[in-house]
Structure 1
Amino acid sequence: MTSVKEKQVIQDEFKKRMDEDELLNCMRCGFCLPSCPTYIESGFKESHSPRGRIALMKAVVDGVIEPDEDVERTLDLCLGCRACEPVCPSGVKYGHLLEEARDIINQNKKHSLPVRVLRQTVFEGLFPYQNRMRVLTNLLGIYQRSGLQSAVHHSGLLRLLPDSMTSMERVLPKVPTMKEMKNRPTHLPALQAQKKRVAFFSGCLMDTMFLKTNDATIKLLQHAGCEIVIPKEQNCCGALHGHSGEKNMGKELAKRNIAAFEDLEVDYIITNAGGCGAFLVDYDHLLKDDPEWFMRAVAFKEKIKDMSAVLVELKFHEKDLSVQPQRVTYQDSCHLRNVQGTFLQPRVLLQAVAGADFYEMKDADRCCGSAGIYNIVESGMSMQILDHKMEKVAESMATTIVTANPGCLLQMKLGIEREGLSGVLRAIHIADFLLEGLEGQLEGSK
């Protein structure tokens, strides 16, 4: 419960920190409404639309309403998918407004002790430290490989958890060993005639839980003619912090990453996770009030490129790629599409793979409901969105769903598990799928 004093502080901070010009840019035209999943899933509730949320922010700034629990609730229910931005005729940067509003609320309200401990553990004690991420992932690996996971499944203990959490436990990838996670090279040569020198943003979850996908990405880039540098000093991109009202920690992580990459003399900084890439290209906005770092952030941003965009630029799709016959569809990563503007390149690559019968899924650009930790903290709405996504998957009659973000990948695997389609339908990251195509071609050429 937010106290009267906390509400006043939050309201004052809204007046000081919210970009009123950006709030006024919203013309209330409603073009954003058909693109907003929570507006649709809530039964067309205005307060759960981008237009409605901007109106609430403006009302708080103007002192018309208090920043009460209802305002906080509607902001929390937003996925942050930013599908409203590409369709907005005024170019409103809704994502920036949402992050600022959430940060103001979270930094100026008193959380309960359990919530404070959890937030401090996750945001300050875990994600900023890659060694700790490795330790946690290694514990998960021990759980998977020791037989404990099988014993837990047979014991029925998982039935004590919510259904979504039980299903999520079943779809977690087989994680690497500690030795594999620590055995990360810092420099790899091109395996074809060198065309580019690039740096690879390895990420936190991507370089632990999804290490094999990172390895696949690196192999693809090498075969495309890239010399690759992987700086050890890099860390978590800060997206989780920025989206969850912890902007100061997000800024600190951003500065560390900029410093880690800025002297490498590379053509591009490559990402393979849509959510990470979108936050990285927003570093200039994140640090706009810091004269020392703003221009450094601009220079950093200009080099960020998704792996699919680089592969298409280097004509990787003209290679002889082949997989076993299967019907393939693609689920867009919201942030890769809506923030980075990358959506054609993944499709170009998938359509170039022999044996892959590509089918464009209806509403492939609509959020799957993952949205970072949204599927954990807002499970009801997330599963409602996922159920509708799985209806579109069924209509596509695909046997393989390809996506380009770890959260989306786990969410689609969760959908497959919930629908009882394991063994019939699979979800895979585009890097892993393209590596299958490359290895199929290399095997066939022997």
Structure 2
Amino acid sequence: MANTTGKPAIEHSNPLAQTLLEKLDYDQLTNCMRCGFCLPACPTFRETGMEPASPRGRIAMMKAAVDGLMVPDQQFQDQMNLCLGCRACEPACPADVKYGQLIEQTREAIEEHATHSLPIKVVRKTVFKKVFPKRSKLKLLGGTLAFYQKSGLQKVAHSTGAMKLFPKHLAEIESIMPSASSKGVVDRLGTFYPGKGEAIAKVGMFRGCIMDVMFTDTNVNTVELLSAAGFDVYIPDGQVCCGALYAHSGEMNDARQLAAVNIDTFKQLGVDYVVSNAGGCGALLVEYDHLMQDDEKYRESAKWFASRVIDVSALIVEKGRVPKFAQKESSPQAEKIKVTYQDSCHLRNVMKGSSAPRTLMKQVANTDYIEMVESDRCCGSAGIYNIVQPEMAGSILEHKMEHANNTQASYMLTSNPGCLLQMKVGIEKHQPDQPMKAMHIVDFLHDRMIVSE
């Protein structure tokens, strides 16, 4: 329930304005000092130079709508949807305004009054009600994509020009998709994987949804990396989607239902840590306490859960026995391999996990780490933002690739699957001067881990 302190006693004739009044945390709206520190941190403001496209501008519009000073019309909704949700404004804010919570409350209110076309309704119902909440449907999706990729259908689609029937940005994403699978990490490793040597802690791995069918190797590599670092790894089969895409799309009740399942599942195991290898998932998991704050049944359990969420890199660096890594391309005569890193916005801005990935990269022998200019800026992926806002996402990505090219790195690493796909699109589209490969940091480290007998 949103904070009601100081809320205006207004009955709005506009239904959306009334819902905004009920849902928005008014204290957070009034905490914004209009200082402007958020402006240079905001990707959409930097691209447009328009005040309404900034966090300060959006908060001003939220408050104006709640106070009855403006009607939340289509332009209002468009600006709320233009926000990437990267939350780079939060570390920059001296008043500690919880912008991420405000934008999610606003989108929830908008969704309650949205009138979608029939195709959009079908897609949303299929994705949110049928596929993401159910492991069997995710496996079917993975198997279907795998068949498309391996049967020759994908080659036929490309050779016949069939992909030209789709929007250009979707065709670009399709061309760089990793190999899908119907067999996730549990199918390959089981629900328990012991740590090497004396166990440091009992870790519950969050395997994700799309992560487990499109990036299964990364999940497997995560488990093996954690094991090598000394952790007993449990992968409970009863876990479900984290709910992040639901929350970003205004489907907050569904997000809470998914959270309840995950909380029960991991608490029953009694794990010391809940580890994530996807910044986007981890950012919602670590805020389950806020998500469930009005649920008397889950309020305390959500705090228990959220306090244990940690990124895989941070867990290894802060609590584990860091394995040794050797650059596999190295030789006595070889030059150092240049590596750079693109921050996951949610890992950096919400989970505060920007240092651990860099610490691990720098420990790989014969590697020269190059800090990319504005590595902390969003790449334009932002969940499904690059699908629903392709023009803005493409503009942001273009600037990102200029900085990536300047590093002359051979590897572009990141800690989130959406960022990884976006960087793959960027590399394919903009062709850096130095041949560059995008990888998840877990895969890069796993490939170079020295396995002790």
What interval of TM-score do these two structures reach, taking the shorter chain for normalisation? over 0.9
Report the more deviating stretch, 50-59 or 178-187: 178-187
1:398 aligns with 2:409: yes
For residues 161-204 of structure 1, the C-alpha deviation after alignment (integer angstroms, 9 at most, x for no partner) is 22221111111001235487744511111123321111111111
Aligned-residue offset at 1:93? 0.5
**Residue 399 (structure 2) aligned to one of 376, 388, 409:** 388
How many Å separate the matches in 2 of 1:429 and 1:124?
29
| Equivalent position amino acid for 1:191 in 2 | K
Aligned residues of 1:13 and 1:104 also touching (Cα < 8 A): yes
Q: How does 1:15-414 map to 2 (within 5 A)?
A: 15-42=21-48, 44-178=49-183, 182-317=187-322, 319-324=324-329, 325-414=336-425
How many Å separate the matches in 1 of 2:341 and 2:322?
16
Aligned residues of 1:10 and 1:108 also touching (Cα < 8 A): yes
Give the aligned partner of residue 10 of structure 1. 16
Q: Helix, strand or coil: the match of 1:206?
A: helix
| Equivalent position amino acid for 1:216 in 2 | N
| Equivalent position amino acid for 1:38 in 2 | T
Give the aligned partner of residue 436 of structure 1. 447
How many Å separate the matches in 1 of 2:366 and 2:304?
41
Give the aligned partner of residue 419 of structure 1. 430
Aligned-residue offset at 1:382? 0.2
Give the aligned partner of residue 3 of structure 1. none
How many Å separate the matches in 1 of 2:20 and 2:373?
39
| Equivalent position amino acid for 2:366 in 1 | G
How many Å separate the matches in 2 of 1:395 and 1:408?
19
Aligned-residue offset at 1:16? 1.4
Report the more deviating stretch, 8-17 or 80-89: 8-17
Report the more deviating stretch, 174-183 or 156-165: 174-183
How many Å separate the matches in 1 of 2:325 and 2:239?
34
Aligned-residue offset at 1:124? 1.1
TM-score between the two structures when normalised by the length of structure 2: 0.93
How many Å separate the matches in 1 of 2:373 and 2:426?
16
How many Å separate the matches in 2 of 1:216 and 1:82?
29
Between the aligned residues of both structures, percent identity stands at 46
Report the more deviating stretch, 144-153 or 182-191: 182-191
Aligned-residue offset at 1:318? 5.9
Gaps of 5+ in 1: 1-5
Aligned-residue offset at 1:293? 1.0
CA 1:179–1:320 in structure 2 vs 1: closer, same or farther (change >3 Å)? closer
Aligned-residue offset at 1:321? 3.4
For residues 337-387 of structure 1, the C-alpha deviation after alignment (integer angstroms, 9 at most, x for no partner) is 000001000000000001221100000000000000000000000000000
How many Å separate the matches in 1 of 2:13 and 2:120?
19
For residues 208-234 of structure 1, the C-alpha deviation after alignment (integer angstroms, 9 at most, x for no partner) is 111100000000000001111111110
Aligned-residue offset at 1:320? 4.3
How many Å separate the matches in 2 of 1:72 and 1:131?
35
How many Å separate the matches in 2 of 1:16 and 1:203?
32
For residues 398-428 of structure 1, the C-alpha deviation after alignment (integer angstroms, 9 at most, x for no partner) is 1100000000000000001111359921100
Q: Helix, strand or coil: the match of 2:444?
A: helix
How many Å separate the matches in 1 of 2:54 and 2:83?
8
Gaps of 5+ in 2: 1-11, 330-335
For residues 52-91 of structure 1, the C-alpha deviation after alignment (integer angstroms, 9 at most, x for no partner) is 0000000010011111000000000000000000110000
Report the more deviating stretch, 262-271 or 33-42: 262-271
RMSD of the alignment, in Å?
1.7
Aligned residues of 2:36 and 2:56 also touching (Cα < 8 A): yes
Aligned-residue offset at 1:7? 7.5
Give the aligned partner of residue 5 of structure 2. none
Aligned length: 436
Aligned-residue offset at 1:312? 0.4
Give the aligned partner of residue 6 of structure 2. none
Aligned-residue offset at 1:317? 4.0
